[in-house]
Amino acid sequence: MNAQKILECVPNFSEGRDESVIRDIETVIAAVAGVRLLHTDMGKATHRTVVSFAGSPEAVVEAAFQAIRVAASRIDMQRHQGAHPRIGATDVCPLIPIRGMNLEEASQYAQRLARRVGEELGIPVYLYEASASAPHRRNLADIRSGEYEGLEEKMKQAEWKPDFGPQHFQPRVGATVIGAREVLVAYNVNLNTQSVALANAIAYDVREAGRPLKDPQTGKLLRDAAGEVLRSPGMCPGVKAIGWYIPEYGIAQVSMNLTSLGQTQLHEAFEACRKSAEAYGVLVTGSELVGLVPASAMTEAGRHFLKKQRRSTGVGDVELVRVAIQSLGLNSLAPFHPKERIIEYMIQDQPNPLVAMSLAEFARETASENPAPGGGSVSACVGAFGISLGAMVANLSAHKKGLEQHYERFCSAAEVAQSRMQELLNLVDEDTRAFNAVLAAFRMPKQTPEEKKARKKAIRSANLYAMEIPFRTMQIAEACLDIVAEMVEIGNQNSITDACVGALCLRTAVQGAAMNVRINSLTIDDEEVKARFLQKTTEIEQIAGEKVERILATLREKFQLDNI
């Protein structure tokens, strides 16, 4: 998906048993150009379905409107019963900024959608979260209080008049809550009990609101001077939680909404449930995610559990996600497929075609008669292999007996190495794209003065970019040598030669990229820019050479070798 701005929508529909209704909703969403349907999660016990889709803001708003329209025509709230709190056919419809936009801009789209739903569909709409029209409407739980059954009386109160649409109760559709919010993770932790009371006790311990305090003698709720119920604080800020029993699984769960991952991460909520459960003699047996999750939540969880095991955290995102899935027990109730459940994996730009190839395919493509990939792409690739060896030594050293005092240094080095390896891998394809851009510029028409001017400008821009890419390869590869040098100095002695091979690869990457910078500089007509690049290229090449010599000198000294 190449749109600069990406908005996600995660509407919750009060239907989890009739698949035909959900299929109709999915159909109208998928029919909107510029929208990608990401995930659908139907819950029979909760009688609720969560649908996730994303795309350009305008397309997402249109798809959301059509989905709400279909839900209003197919779902009759007068006959609805389910375990989850709800007030309408489309219970809540949040808009979430994913890329290229902020919460304020997303809120403008939410208000546009809310107005249209109210006016065109005749559904009462409440704005919430960042779009709330008043402080008491910001919290979804406050709007839902009383649920559908209490909505008719609630709407008669002045402070609970809808923001858009009819100001009186609509029995069939109820009401809809629309607003912009940050990413919310719906997350359930599984317990080895069927007791809702125990699940609620754990939920009280975990959720931000904590548990209401009672007079130990009378059993009545304690209140402050303003009449508010006094509460003991919960363990996890930004977390809402309740306990419930799921017949289809035969277990009780702590059902949570993580409203602010900056305050409480996925693994922190899991650990809090585990700690609380132990106090009640209950075991946490796994967990499940409802809908999608940001990649950062999974990778942070992976790092957390690796740190607990004193294993290196610099193992790459794929491995971090695998560790998170295993440690959180996300496969305990149903298979968890990262490519279907992680937002960034679902919403991503076109993959880098060269990097996506197997090693053999890449070699064959390079050996073909095509001029690209060429030396620039191969230099970046060699550099990626070089720093990957540095990451390997750091990871092998992190749990090595006798090197415990350097654990944090190894983790940090491996994490930085992973990041730089990815940068170099990106440059493999970017170098080829830059070369192709030069060819495309020269193929531009040049019949009219305007065409000649546009062509000249495009050629100049493409030539400059074709020089900037290998220069960037040089910069990254040279910086990577510091990590390799550290690993040769303090890393696992059995792997020092691997790190040194990495250093040689990185020097080759610098030298190969430098050659491309110099060749491409011949096409640059701005002498000042050209001179600046060439001077810096020489400096980086010299620094890289000196670093590699020091690394090899360390190797010779450690192993008393004279022939390296």
DSSP class of residue 170 equals -
Q: How far is CA 217 from CA 77, 132, 210, 231, 295, in A?
A: 42, 41, 21, 17, 49
Residue 528 has φ and ψ, to the nearest 5°, of -65, -45
Cα–Cα distance for residue pair 389/377, rounded to 1 Å:
19
Helix (H) or strand (E) holding 269: helix 266-279
Cα–Cα distance for residue pair 480/474, rounded to 1 Å:
10
End-to-end CA distance of the chain: 49
The answer to whether the beta carbons of residues 480 and 383 sit under 8 Å apart is: yes
Cα–Cα distance for residue pair 178/94, rounded to 1 Å:
6
Sequence letter at residue 242: I
* Burial class of residue 528 (count of CB atoms within 10 Å of its CB; 0-12, 13-18, 19+): exposed
Cα–Cα distance for residue pair 543/534, rounded to 1 Å:
14
Question: Token digits for 76?
Answer: 């009759």
Cα–Cα distance for residue pair 350/430, rounded to 1 Å:
13
Q: Is 314 helix (H, G, I), strand (E, B) or coil?
A: coil
Sequence letter at residue 560: Q
For 6-117, list the strands marked E by DSSP: 6-9, 12-13, 35-43, 48-55, 90-99
- What HEC string does 429-494 produce? HHHHHHHHHHHHHHCCCCCCHHHHHHHHHHHHHHHHHHHHHHHHHHHHHHHHHHHHHHHHHHCCHH
Q: Verify whether residue 431 is a known catalytic residue.
A: yes
Q: Verify whether residue 526 is a known catalytic residue.
A: no
Per DSSP, what are the bridge partners of residue 252? Answer: 245
Q: How far is CA 510 from CA 50, 347, 387, 541, in A?
A: 50, 33, 12, 6
Residue of 493, 416, 433, 420 whose CA lies nearest to 468: 433
Cα–Cα distance for residue pair 361/385, rounded to 1 Å:
16
From 84, 267, 304, 406, the catalytic residue = 84
Per DSSP, what are the bridge partners of residue 126? Answer: 177
Cα–Cα distance for residue pair 374/385, rounded to 1 Å:
17
From 317, 429, 431, 498, the catalytic residue = 431
Cα–Cα distance for residue pair 7/99, rounded to 1 Å:
7
CA angle 473, 423, 2 (to 5 degrees): 115
> Catalytic amino acids?
84, 431
